[in-house]
Amino acid sequence: MKITEHIKNANGKPLFSFELLPPMKGQSIASIYNTIDALMEFKPPFIDVTYHREDYIYKQHPHGLLERIAYRKRPGTVAICAAIMNKYKVDAVPHLICGGFTKEETENALIDLHFLGIDNVLVLRGDARKADKDFVPTPGGHAYATDLLQHVKDMNGGKYLHEDIENSECTDFCVGVAGYPEKHFEAPNFETDFRYLKKKVEMGADFIVTQMFFDNSKYKAFVERCRADGINVPIIPGLKPITSAKQLITLPKIFHIDIPVELSEAIGACKTAQQVKEVGIEWMVQQCKELVEFGAPVLHFYTMGNPAPTRQIVEQVF
């Protein structure tokens, strides 16, 4: 079922969903199942699975030269989605990214997803490789999320890369895109970032999932701005509790978000790691309650492979 259908069928009742990271190459899918098992009692209608581009490792040869080798550390997104749907009978939402894939590889992945009966995708540009200062498109791949979105919408209309394909079947993906209540870090200002978001919705994006945030007023202002500008698709807040003091530094650095003064001071006053977790969870519980009251259609959690904090929060909200 499509995300938009899940939201419509809920009749205004907020839904619960979460995002998973594929396990590192060589590790068992059991870590995925353990995370899901811990959260299934809250009846998530869909679960996201992230996609990761290749990175580089360096292998030193006996003669001393270094060889740069492309290496994808977290493969398996499509297979994990299929396993989730088979084992739990829950819709899986794979992320699609530009980096690391040619257009041909992207199209073939979409065909696989279509054949598996996966109805939803979240279209993203993706992050830069760790070895690169800035995002570098894959040769023969898409450079922007709008390009990738157009590719999906083309296939929904029966248009494939090779125009000589006859009697092509239309896919029917429900397509999500990312939204940034505090703007994307590469955008020169919020207005420019917002215009790109509006363009994606005009191109046919069906729903928006936001970057994490810790100040609900920013989500509310973002939603209100969207509605005022004719963006009427569901806007799903992305959420993650702070669980360690070092995240006061790492989260703003990695995700380019602000931590409210009240929250940062409360964490700074903690004497133990356990106190930090309690403060972070309580803050997120209050955020969630306010978001439900505001009318957020779904509370979507970034679990980062650790379901325990999400479970503690959801127990108090749903």
- What amino acid positions are annotated as catalytic residues? 19
CA distance 262 to 259: 8
Q: CA nearest 161: which of 110, 221, 211?
A: 110
Nearest to 35 by CA among 308, 313, 237, 257: 308
State the chain's maximal CA–CA distance in angstroms. Answer: 67
Distance CA 33, CA 136 (A): 33
Burial of 191 (0-12, 13-18, 19+ CB in 10 A): exposed
Distance of CA 295 to the CA centre of its chain: 21
First to last CA, the chain: 22
Burial class (CB in 10 A: 0-12, 13-18, 19+), 235: buried
At residue 94, what are phi and psi to the nearest 5 degrees?
-75, 145
Per DSSP, what are the bridge partners of residue 121?
A: 175
